[in-house]
Amino acid sequence: MDFPSVERAVKVYRECASAPSLSSASLQKTGDSVFSVHSTWSQRDLERECNIKYRQTHIVTLDSNGQIGDVIDPGTNTELNSEQLVRWSPSGKLKAVLRKIKDKKGDEKQYLEVWNNIAKIHNINLTALDKHGKVYEDGEFGCLEWSSCESQLLYVAEKKQPKAVSYFDKSKEGGSEENPETDAKKKDPEVKGDQFVHRQDWGELLVGKHSPVPCILNLQTGQVTIPEGLPNDVSVGQAIWTPDDSGIVFTGWENEPYRLGLIYCRNRRSAIYHLDLSSQTCNTISITGQSVRSPVFSPDASKLIYIQNSCHGPHMQCAQLIVYHWESKETKVTVDIVQRPTEGRPFPGLYVGRFEQQCWLDNETILVSTAWRSSQTIIAINICTGEVTRLTNGPDFGSWMFCDIKQRLILACRSSPTRSAQLVVGVIPQEGDISCINWKPLHESSVILSDVIWSVITLKPKTEQGSDIDFETIILKPKANSGSQEKKLPLIVWAHGGPHSVFSTGYLLLPGLFCQLGFVIACVNYRGSIGFGQASIDSLPGFVGTHDVKDVQAAAEAVIEQGLVDRERVAVSGGSHGGFLSTHMIGQYPDFYKACITRNPVTNLAAMLGGTDIPSWTMTEAGMDFDFKIAPSAEMYAKMFNCSPMAHIDKVRAPTLLMLGSDDLRVPPQQGIRYHEMLKARGVKTRLLMYPDNSHPINKVDAEADCFMNMYTWITEHL
């Protein structure tokens, strides 16, 4: 078959990959019925080989009926290159900015700035103060919070460690014997012989983040303090002020007995703490032995909410929403885990990482985005009754991210497989059905794939698979061919990672690209994906390599049955656990798949146990309980090996492209390297691409673009 040329693929990549993705967006009230919307975006710059960040501002007015009036785009897009965190003060009059700048010597410095509407009014060189290490700007621990009186800022930074020196460092000798007291005052404490002590960090994408502590900057004095009374052996993150600024509340993750990688893993043992700043006493608010996160106070300060799920088992789970009454200290589960959604009660449960800073519609209702089958949807939760109302459910956009709420004006970002991100605003009705929102776009999507159509099909596993849990597949088809019988198209079957994650019907870059180039794409949300109830998640551990494999195959067959696809030209793709599935598919269905492309695949769970930052994952997914002190037996290793793609290596015939990130701590590159070597030794065509300075996602701009072109040439050569 004639595939579009490589030049055409480059052109399509340039177009589709130019779609910016939203980093953050917030609403500010700037006058009577006038709001400004500030959004920051990230966009690939193929010429500079980096992601650029820029800010966009829109003005939204409300009419006399309180409905959206005008949307004004003053056209003030500005590139940002040094802002790490931005936070508006409660009054909206001040803006705090954490900035990272390289000095003349090339050393990185962090500054905390405060701006009013005219100019910068404070600039504190945090690096020079030397009270702590780097400030955390990530989505797991990071925070930047104004006290209610707007005179203090709370953030999280790496705890300062005593300087480690050699026993043989002569420059450290001398002074102390002559005048130990004055010398000690001059110098920070030094520890001899600790230079090479291993300090464990929080793993993949959190490298160098070991021991976060809360830090308070007093804007009047310019001084930073690290509060006393913090619990031992706990990593502090997501810190907020108590309503009267007398204390702080934060999430504390246990460091002991050792840290397990945190990113994509919402099952780490943690607790919500309250530290009283004057008495320096710290108490837990949540129950122990759970995984909790994201504490937020209600506007009237009477309630604190947070998210909770088990710290055992799968790495992503359906969560509970907990309400803690600040005065009475009573705790209530207001939204519980949903095992199986039903037709009458379709809400599949909560799958939430962190609440937005402003998530309260009023003192009873919060707004949050969550996975809902194959979509990402915004829901309103009445925290007193636990009632859940779905606010977004239209046919055109499958992914809705809640951004901010001011009064009843809601800001959201939506996308679909054929339309890249678009900011929208709406007014939540004061009375009646709160889901009746007239959404008004602030701009057009920057990329529209007009040659692609998409749909979602629901599939049930066959009876012999002993389960009645259904699953879904998102199908992308080239429009030109979608109704005709003329020429059958090649199919790429795509499996997501996790395994407990999900493809949502938002903008999907790689599937969209291949569809633009004439492929039918099936993105399979096999059983175990999030958004389908906890029973679906729990059905997979112990059956990886079987249930998920069968679901992926059933999805491929179902798409073929629709008559559009040539069953002789089917390829499979996926990264991470999706790579585990891709390599399983070519091992278990060697006649069916004609090519395989895979990113950082898990190929042998037994071998991965000793190399990954999350050894717990390998045991859990193989169906065994993880314990921090477990030393697996030969039987356990056998179990892990037997459910791995490597156990099927002798049957593989499909040409296989492996793309590996050299710095991946989650799935060590050796997983892919060994698989590649085994294929080579068996005479199976294979190619391995190793991307330096890339980790699990392989998302540096040049690497990602190269991955796509190699995927395209590999598939077109072999289908």
Catalytic positions, written as ranges: 576, 664, 696
Q: Which is nearer to ligand LTJ4LZQ7, 501 or 694 (CB)?
A: 501
Give the nearest distance from C-beta 606 to ligand LTJ4LZQ7 in angstroms. 13
Give Cα 512 to chain centroid, integer Å.
Answer: 20
| Dihedral angle computed from the Cα positions of residues 442, 445, 450 and 454, in that order, rounded to the nearest 10 degrees | -90
Q: Which is nearer to ligand LTJ4LZQ7, 219 or 530 (CB)?
A: 530
- Written in H, E and C, the secondary structure of 515-563 is HHCCCEEEEEECCCCCCCCHHHHHCCCCCCCCHHHHHHHHHHHHHHHCC
Q: Which is nearer to ligand LTJ4LZQ7, 639 or 666 (CB)?
A: 666
Residue 626: half-sphere exposure toward Cβ, Cα within 13 Å: 23
SS3 for 12? helix
SS3 for 62? strand
Give the nearest distance from C-beta 616 to ligand LTJ4LZQ7 in angstroms. 9
Residues 456-515 that bind ligand LTJ4LZQ7 (CB under 6 A): 497-498, 501
Q: Which is nearer to ligand LTJ4LZQ7, 400 or 580 (CB)?
A: 580
Stretch that binds ligand LTJ4LZQ7, among 186-194, 343-351, 366-374, 572-580 (CB under 6 A): 572-580
CB atoms within 10 A of CB 248: 25
Q: Which of 520-533 are b and which e, b meaning 16 or more Cβ less than 10 Å from the residue's Cβ?
A: bbbbbbbbbbbbbb
Give the nearest distance from C-beta 138 to ligand LTJ4LZQ7 in angstroms. 15
Does 529 bind ligand LTJ4LZQ7 (CB under 6 A)? Our answer is no
Q: Binding marks (x or -) toward ligand LTJ4LZQ7, 657..676, rule CB under 6 A?
A: ---------xx---------
Q: Which is nearer to ligand LTJ4LZQ7, 44 or 315 (CB)?
A: 315
Residue with tokens 């190929």, as numbered in its chain: 603
Q: Which is nearer to ligand LTJ4LZQ7, 227 or 668 (CB)?
A: 668
Residues 260-289 that bind ligand LTJ4LZQ7 (CB under 6 A): 264
Residues 405-444 that bind ligand LTJ4LZQ7 (CB under 6 A): none
Q: Which is nearer to ligand LTJ4LZQ7, 270 or 582 (CB)?
A: 582
Rounded to whole angstroms, how far apart are CA atoms 459 and 475? Answer: 13
CB atoms within 10 A of CB 612: 23
Q: Which is nearer to ligand LTJ4LZQ7, 264 or 514 (CB)?
A: 264
Residues 4-63 that bind ligand LTJ4LZQ7 (CB under 6 A): none
Give the nearest distance from C-beta 362 to ligand LTJ4LZQ7 in angstroms. 34
Residues 286-315 that bind ligand LTJ4LZQ7 (CB under 6 A): 315
Binds ligand LTJ4LZQ7 (CB under 6 A): choice among 96, 602, 640, 703: 602
Number of chain positions touching ligand LTJ4LZQ7 (CB under 6 A): 17
β-pairing verdict for 50-62 and 68-72: antiparallel
Binds ligand LTJ4LZQ7 (CB under 6 A): choice among 155, 696, 698, 712: 696
Binds ligand LTJ4LZQ7 (CB under 6 A): choice among 214, 575, 645, 661: 575
CA–CA distance from 694 to each of 17, 240, 310, 703, 708 (Å)? Answer: 18, 33, 31, 8, 15
DSSP string, 627-684: -TT----HHHHHHHHHTSGGGGGGG--S-EEEEEETT-SSS-THHHHHHHHHHHHTT-
Instruction: Report the residue closest to ligand LTJ4LZQ7, judged by CB.
Output: 497
**Contact in structure between 653 and 586 (CB atoms under 8 Å):** yes
Helix, strand, coil shares of the chain as percentages rounded to 5?
Answer: 20, 35, 45
CA–CA distance from 1 to each of 82, 486, 521, 561, 715 (Å)? Answer: 48, 13, 17, 21, 12
Does 614 bind ligand LTJ4LZQ7 (CB under 6 A)? Our answer is yes
Site for ligand LTJ4LZQ7, rule CB under 6 A: 264, 315, 497-498, 501, 575-578, 602, 612, 614, 617, 666-667, 696-697
